[in-house]
Amino acid sequence: MKQELIVTRYKLHSCSSYIRKDIRIALVADLHDRKPDELLFLLRKEPVDFILAAGDLMERREEGVSEWTEEAMQEWQGTKGKWPVSDFLANAADAAAGWLFPAERQERSWSEENGRYFLREASKVAPVYLGVGNHEWYYLPKDYEVMQKCHIRLLDNKDVVAEREAAAGKGCILIGGLSTRYDLEWLKRFSRKEGYKILICHHPEYYLRFIKGTRYDNFDLIVSGHSHGGQWRIGGRGVYAPGQGMFSKYAYGIHNTAKGAHDGKLIVSAGCVNTVNVPRWGNPCELVIIEMKAGRLD
Ligand SMILES: [Fe+2]
């Protein structure tokens, strides 16, 4: 079954003194090394200042290649044995769907080259800032080679100044990435920096765990993925999102954070591809475009 890929647009206003001109941002998440052709087709039509890649663009999760194991990665995420019943049901539904929808597997064909190909082509559109997700336990030498060649900014618990935007007189935009294997000391340091702060945080649930309600809840924009929109959408809520369970609020969409109604947003991408045998329902795959107006709305 062909899964729909749409462009979702969010219009934001920022009264931050660090945003002096309007900017346009693309947000991609959860490509998982699937074919990126349709995504690239849409991306090439969008004149954006930069691209935020919010994790799981690749799948590097073979046991024994790095020191990390599936169990260790689950411990980082705090999901080990947390929802045994929903995990069991999700796995059973996926196995059944694999039998019911064999064409779906074809559609989702995986190749290690796809993620690298996407990064190469996306970097021709605009600078790419890359966050690290739970399926990226490690990167291969070939991945680093592409990142270096294409000037991909790998933000593995790290922040940088968005160079081109700063040079164009658009103020000071800082972009940081909180990885699945998080470094909270780095996060605290980043939260104290001056500038318009964008946090790439693959896991929306990390916002709830580590940021919401703390004095570090002062990021201007947080972008996430991981939840795949909850796979099925019923009554405006995603049915099941990994790390969040059933009918969670943060499975997709735009949410206010502590910074108030005009500033301080968490945007969760529903992901660029379908990765499981269960077809999505009411939950299209998406390329997110964020159009940021400088100045207040009112
Ligand atoms: Fe993920």
Distance 1 CA to ligand 1 centre (A): 22
Contact, 11 vs 291, CB < 8 A?
Answer: yes
Q: Which of 232, 230, 226 is nearest to 282 (CA)?
A: 232
**What tens digit of pLDDT does each residue of 159-198 get?**
999 977 666 676 789 999 999 999 999 999 999 999 999 9
CA 237 to CA 246: how far, in whole Å?
Answer: 9
Measured in residues, the chain has a length of: 298
pLDDT of residue 27 exceeding 60 = yes
Distance 284 CA to ligand 1 centre (A): 17
**What tens digit of pLDDT does each residue of 63-84 get?**
999 999 999 999 999 987 766 6
Containing 240, the helix (H) or strand (E) segment is strand 240-241
Distance 86 CA to ligand 1 centre (A): 17
Distance 31 CA to ligand 1 centre (A): 10
CA 72 to CA 78: how far, in whole Å?
Answer: 10
Distance 252 CA to ligand 1 centre (A): 13
Q: Which of 165, 126, 152 is nearest to 287 (CA)?
A: 126
Say which CATH topology domain 5-294 has: Purple Acid Phosphatase; chain A, domain 2 (3.60.21)
Q: Can you give the residue ranges of every domain in the chain? A: 5-294
- Output the pLDDT for position 263: 79
Amino acid residing at 244: Q
- Output the pLDDT for position 103: 61
Distance 104 CA to ligand 1 centre (A): 20
Distance 22 CA to ligand 1 centre (A): 30
Distance 41 CA to ligand 1 centre (A): 23
**What tens digit of pLDDT does each residue of 199-218 get?**
999 999 999 999 999 999 99
133 exposure class (CB count in 10 Å sphere: 0-12, 13-18, 19+):
buried
| Assessment of whether the complete model's pTM goes beyond 0.95 | no
Distance 80 CA to ligand 1 centre (A): 15
Q: Which of 291, 272, 263, 192 is nearest to 16 (CA)?
A: 263
pLDDT of residue 231 exceeding 60 = yes
